[in-house]
């Protein structure tokens, strides 16, 4: 198997810009050539509207779409591919559940539980659903190192809890949530478990059957696929009981003057002309990740994350947020004393280092941390030690620019990563 360390050569944008250190994969990942080739080949050889044409080209497009769904389902260990709904991504998937399921099942006096880690896409829809339905909205706080406090979750979930919505991996801290423990707590009261998998699907092996959750949402563009394609995996019995999210196109069975019946899964939730090219490209992306091996992806990113935490933590004035490298994905969030995260990102950009700066669509979390913004470096299969070197060098340059020369003693121990001041 080719090692991850050589994978930069698979990504045309990075090949064309050899001095670029792309450390913003938690926002979106670069695209390998095999994905770009697969999408282009589909449009050049097999493009037509699927499902609706009796001619051979439409049949070929339909087959491509079906095969893409089967391939993506297999990547997640999903045996029933019809329970994979193609969407535009995680945000649409979570809104689909909150709307189609939530508006018909949550009642006044019920409770919806989320965690302080959540991305806005897995926080705001549930908050707004609670407001619309008269339900209580509970936020479970974190441990001092930025993990979901399981004891607090256990106390927050009651017989009135209808939904527990949780990020598998935090986009802001990289924290990995123990879904088995979360699911067991939710199951004890019959609550639905909804998982934001945007940051786990690209970076670790996900066996949906073993996770024992009700819904799992993910985004293709974080996995090396194009934007505008992702999915929602749900339990068949729940999906079949839910009303459609959008109307029109192939999601209908029969349209009468007074009533309309719905198509079978997955078409019931895929209104309009589907993004077949995106689905084909997503299938190519998961084949690419499978060729590397998700265990190897995880190992590689964990190595880089530990390296970045140690070296950034050795710099004076750098504060790290989140748990140790064994409990997080390839995300490192930090602040530098006296330098705003946006200024730091601008200086890093001048040295060819791309990091994200801001609240990372996690304002409730950063508010709890007592900061308005952090800088965030995030890793994927194309990163290596040179990217960490460039990041650390860029932070030193920013410190010199803002504060003058500083000396960091060799062997200075890393500062402990923490989620609180």
Please give the Cα distance from 46 to 48 (Å, whole number).
7
Yes or no: say if 205 and 179 are a contact pair by the CB < 8 Å rule: no
Please give the Cα distance from 277 to 294 (Å, whole number).
24
CA-nearest of 71, 96, 84, 52 to 272 is 52
Torsion over CA of 240, 222, 288 and 6, rounded to 10 degrees? -160
Residue 361 annotated as catalytic: yes
Residue where the block lists tokens 């899964």: 265
- Beta strand segments in 172-267, E: 192-196, 215-219, 230-234, 252-255, 260-262
CA-nearest of 324, 335, 311 to 417 is 324
Please give the Cα distance from 232 to 194 (Å, whole number).
10
Burial 249-284 (b: 16+ CB within 10 A, else e): bbbbeeeeeeeeebbebbbbbbbeebbbbbbbbbbb
Catalytic-role residue among 64, 83, 354, 361:
361
Name the percent of the chain in helix, strand, coil, to the closest 5: 45, 15, 40
In angstroms, what CA-CA distances link 410 with 177, 334, 414?
35, 21, 11
**Residues contacting 380, CB < 8 A, separation 6+:** 25, 29, 30, 202, 203, 301, 330
**Residues contacting 306, CB < 8 A, separation 6+:** 325
Sheet with strand 84-87: strands edge to edge: 84-87, 230-234, 215-219, 192-196, 161-167, 111-115, 136-140
* Catalytic site positions: 361
């Amino acid at each position: 198997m080719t090692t991850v360390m050589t994978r930069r050569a698979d990504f045309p944008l990075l090949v064309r810009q050899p001095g670029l250190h792309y450390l913003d994969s938690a926002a979106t990942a670069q695209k390998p050539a095999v994905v770009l080739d697969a999408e282009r080949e589909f449009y050049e050889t097999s493009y037509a509207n699927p499902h609706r044409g009796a001619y051979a080209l439409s049949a070929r497009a339909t087959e491509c779409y079906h095969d893409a769904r089967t391939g993506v389902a297999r990547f997640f260990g999903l045996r029933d591919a019809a329970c994979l709904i193609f969407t535009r991504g995680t945000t649409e998937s979570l809104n689909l559940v909150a709307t189609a399921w939530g508006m018909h099942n949550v009642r006044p006096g019920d409770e919806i539980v989320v965690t302080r880690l959540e991305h806005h896409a897995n926080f705001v829809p549930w908050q707004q659903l609670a407001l619309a339905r008269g339900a209580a909205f509970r936020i479970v706080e974190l441990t001092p190192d930025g993990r979901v406090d399981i004891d607090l979750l256990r106390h927050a979930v009651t017989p009135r809890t209808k939904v527990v919505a949780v990020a598998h991996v935090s986009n802001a801290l990289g924290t990995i949530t123990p879904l088995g423990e979360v699911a067991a707590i939710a199951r004890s009261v019959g609550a639905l478990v909804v998982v934001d998998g945007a940051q786990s699907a690209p970076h670790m092996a996900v066996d949906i059957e073993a996770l024992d959750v009700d819904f799992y949402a993910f985004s293709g563009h974080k996995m090396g696929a194009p934007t505008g394609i992702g999915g929602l995996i749900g339990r068949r019995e729940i999906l079949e009981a839910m009303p459609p999210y959008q109307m029109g196109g192939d999601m209908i069975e029969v349209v009468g003057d007074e009533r309309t019946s719905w198509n079978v899964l997955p078409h019931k939730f895929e209104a309009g002309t589907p993004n077949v090219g995106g689905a084909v490209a997503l299938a190519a992306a998961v084949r690419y990740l499978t060729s590397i091996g998700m265990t190897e992806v995880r190992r590689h990113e964990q190595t880089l994350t530990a390296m970045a935490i140690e070296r950034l933590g050795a710099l004076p004035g750098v504060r790290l947020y989140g748990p140790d490298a064994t409990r997080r994905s390839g995300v490192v969030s930090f602040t530098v004393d006296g330098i705003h995260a946006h200024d730091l990102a601008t200086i890093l950009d001048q040295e060819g280092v791309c990091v994200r700066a801001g609240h990372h669509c996690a304002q409730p979390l950063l508010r709890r941390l007592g900061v308005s913004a952090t800088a965030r470096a995030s890793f994927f299969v194309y990163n290596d030690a040179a990217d960490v070197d460039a990041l650390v060098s860029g932070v030193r340059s920013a410190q010199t620019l803002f504060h003058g020369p500083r000396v960091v003693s060799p062997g200075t121990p890393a500062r402990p990563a923490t989620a609180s001041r």
